[in-house]
Amino acid sequence: MKQRIAKEILWLLGALIGAVPVAFLFLELLDLTTQGEQPTVDERVFFSQLFIIGYVIGMISIYVIRIVRFAIIGVVSPPVKETEKSKP
């Protein structure tokens, strides 16, 4: 049980770290520009909100990829046969 919890915590940490590049990629794909040379306060808030949205999208996508991976492994791998118990 402890090993399973530790594995889930590692997946969570990996997803938290892995979502950062996805959020930056999300912002880059939107190709946002400012009106002037420096962004206004409203634009900075908007960029921050979009970063958070991209971060959440990254977290969700990492977990969806994980679920799909385990589903594919479950379908492809042969079923595990129980070993016959030795009779006394």
Q: What is the pLDDT of residues 57-83, one digit of tens each?
A: 999 999 999 999 989 998 888 777 766
pLDDT band for position 88 (cuts 50, 70, 90): low
* Across 84-88, average pLDDT: 51
Residue 22 neighbours by CB distance under 10 Å: 19
pLDDT exceeds cutoff 60 at 42: yes
| Calpha distance 27→23 (Å, rounded) | 6
> pLDDT at position 56, please?
95
pTM score of the predicted model: 0.75
Amino acid at 83: T
CA 67 to chain centre: 11
Residue % of the chain over a pLDDT of 90: 52
Domain definitions of the chain by residue range: 2-76
